[in-house]
Amino acid sequence: MRTQVGIIGGGPSGLLLSQLLHRRGIETVVLEKHSREYVLERIRAGVLEHSFAELMREAQVGERMDREGQIHDGFYIAHGGIKKRVDLRALTGGKTVIVYGQTELTRDLYEARDQAGGILIHNAADVKPHDLASPHPYLTYRLGEETVRIDCDYIVGCDGFHGVSRQSIPKEKVRTFERVYPFGWLGVLTRTEPVSPELIYARHERGFALCSLRSPTLSRYYIQVPLSDSVDNWPDEQFFDELRRRLPAGVSEAMITGPSIEKSIAPLRSFVIEPMRFGKLFLAGDAGHILPPTGARGLNTAASDIHYLYHALVDHYSQRDDRGLESYSQRALARVWKGQRFSWWMTNLLHRFPDSSPFDERIQETELAYLFSSEKALALLAENYVGLPL
Ligand code: FAD
Ligand code: PHB
């Protein structure tokens, strides 16, 4: 088999790139290790920035997102028993975010790829990129007994943090940067009315908590837990008791609880690889970087990689202009690091660190007090949360 762009990974990054390129007449093959059902069961991102939504529209897959997604003009930060609003729209001159689940947008992308007759191979085992430093790279994968080869012009690694693409780059060609936090987020999804129509991020001495949502009838809640914890230690009732303790009284009292339909722990980590390219291989999304979820930047940063790479590939195929491909890594990384800085800042602001001293705690309290006493400080938070310009 032969294609122009071979894409490893059928998560949001891989599917979005494939759909965008298809619209511009560029052929792709997407190789996904898991089944479609498995990919759709993962409950992950919920908050999309404006430029992500624009990219979905450009790919002609934004219709349901625009119909069912909820525009959020602001969110709350709770601490010291009260909650204060961050008015995104007012602070950014009209910008907002959209609450629309990663599961839903992945479903929309699958549908679009199916309708266009796109080649998307699920359960592709042992995917391997080859000859990346040569002009003729190719992919192999196993389907049952058979090993299939796909010759490509370019290969794009969209296979997430644990994928094969990043591992295929010789260690001496890259530098990695990492911070592992000593805690994770225990997340629960319930079919209940959300306690607040806007997200509430809570700082509390028992640890961070977040009240989020997917729709008016689907709530997503998180609490900070130690890295060593396990979902088995958290029956629903215990989870909600702990969540309530970390929220202002008015919020806890209003909370409607119900049985969890999903429960999982996500460790918090920051990671970046530089450069995000090796020969004919380009990395995009979680394959190249992981952001802690506190600033809701992960998927949004993946989308900015896809934006740069999409335009670079279009320029290559339509005008033989390779400047976008040559500068891809540099441009993508500049935005990745801004997202990292913001997520790091928000993680530090709102979490309880096991080794924090009374001094550190006062600094955290002062940072929050300062934030809500200064329009300028709030505006910085808001402009990062809605997404910096591409
Ligand atoms: P992935 O979604 O990881 O997709 C990679 C795909 O590649 C997978 O389908 C995988 O099966 C496949 N794959 C892996 N290895 C191979 C292989 N060897 N061969 C073939 N296929 C392979 N981001 C936000 O912007 N906003 C949020 O509100 C937000 N909330 C989050 C909440 C949680 C709890 C978590 C965990 C993450 C959150 N994120 C958020 C981050 C976001 O979910 C990720 O950044 C996003 O999933 C990245 O998409 P991706 O397509 O790059 O990678
Ligand atoms: C979510 O709804 O899953 C979510 C929302 C905001 C975040 C992280 C996750 O910052």
C-beta of 47 in contact with ligand 2 (< 6 A):
yes
Angstrom distances, CA of residue 45 to CA of 48, 80, 98, 212, 316: 8, 27, 11, 10, 32
Which ligand minimizes its atom distance to the CA of 70?
2
What one-character-per-residue DSSP string does 4-63 give? SEEEE--SHHHHHHHHHHHHTT--EEEE-SS-HHHHHH-----EEEHHHHHHHHHTT--H
- Per the CB < 8 A criterion, the answer to whether 40 and 60 are in contact is no
Amino acid identity, residue 82?
I
Give the three-state DSSP class for 1.
coil
Report CA(46)–ligand 2 centroid distance (Å): 5
C-beta of 339 in contact with ligand 2 (< 6 A):
no
Report CA(45)–ligand 1 centroid distance (Å): 9
Tokens 């007012």 belong to residue: 90
Q: How far apart are CA 27 and CA 6, in angstroms?
A: 9
C-beta of 39 in contact with ligand 1 (< 6 A):
yes
Tokens 């995009």 belong to residue: 284
Sign of dihedral through CA atoms 16, 22, 27, 32? positive
Which ligand minimizes its atom distance to the CA of 210?
2
What does the pLDDT read at residue 157? Answer: 98
Q: Name the residue at shortest CA distance from atom 29 of ligand 1.
A: 45
Below-70 pLDDT ranges, the chain? none
| pLDDT above 90 as % of the chain | 98
What does the pLDDT read at residue 41? Answer: 87
What does the pLDDT read at residue 166? Answer: 98
What does the pLDDT read at residue 208? Answer: 98
Q: Which two tokens mark 133?
A: 């430093």
C-beta of 288 in contact with ligand 1 (< 6 A):
no
Q: Are strands 154-157 and 281-283 parallel, antiparallel or unpaired?
A: parallel
Quote the pTM value: 0.97
Which DSSP category does 174 fall into?
-
Q: Name the residue at shortest CA distance from atom 9 of ligand 1.
A: 11
Which DSSP category does 117 fall into?
T
H/E stretch holding 343 reads helix 323-350
Mutate to test the pocket of ligand 1, among 15, 72, 102 (most ligand atoms within 8 A of CB): 102
Q: Name the residue at shortest CA distance from atom 4 of ligand 2.
A: 46
C-beta of 187 in contact with ligand 1 (< 6 A):
yes
Q: Name the residue at shortest CA distance from atom 15 of ligand 1.
A: 163
Q: Which atom from ligand 2 is nearest to the alpha carbon of 346?
A: 10
C-beta of 343 in contact with ligand 1 (< 6 A):
no
What does the pLDDT read at residue 369? Answer: 96
Report CA(37)–ligand 1 centroid distance (Å): 15
Report CA(280)–ligand 2 centroid distance (Å): 34
What does the pLDDT read at residue 93? Answer: 97
What does the pLDDT read at residue 196? Answer: 98
C-beta of 295 in contact with ligand 1 (< 6 A):
no
**Average pLDDT score over the chain:** 97
What does the pLDDT read at residue 243? Answer: 98
Q: How far apart are CA 260 and CA 257, in angstroms?
A: 9
- Per the CB < 8 A criterion, the answer to whether 168 and 132 are in contact is yes
Q: Name the residue at shortest CA distance from atom 1 of ligand 2.
A: 46
C-beta of 165 in contact with ligand 1 (< 6 A):
no
Q: Which two tokens mark 132?
A: 């990346």
Q: How far apart are CA 365 and CA 360, in angstroms?
A: 9
Q: Are strands 175-190 and 218-226 parallel, antiparallel or unpaired?
A: antiparallel
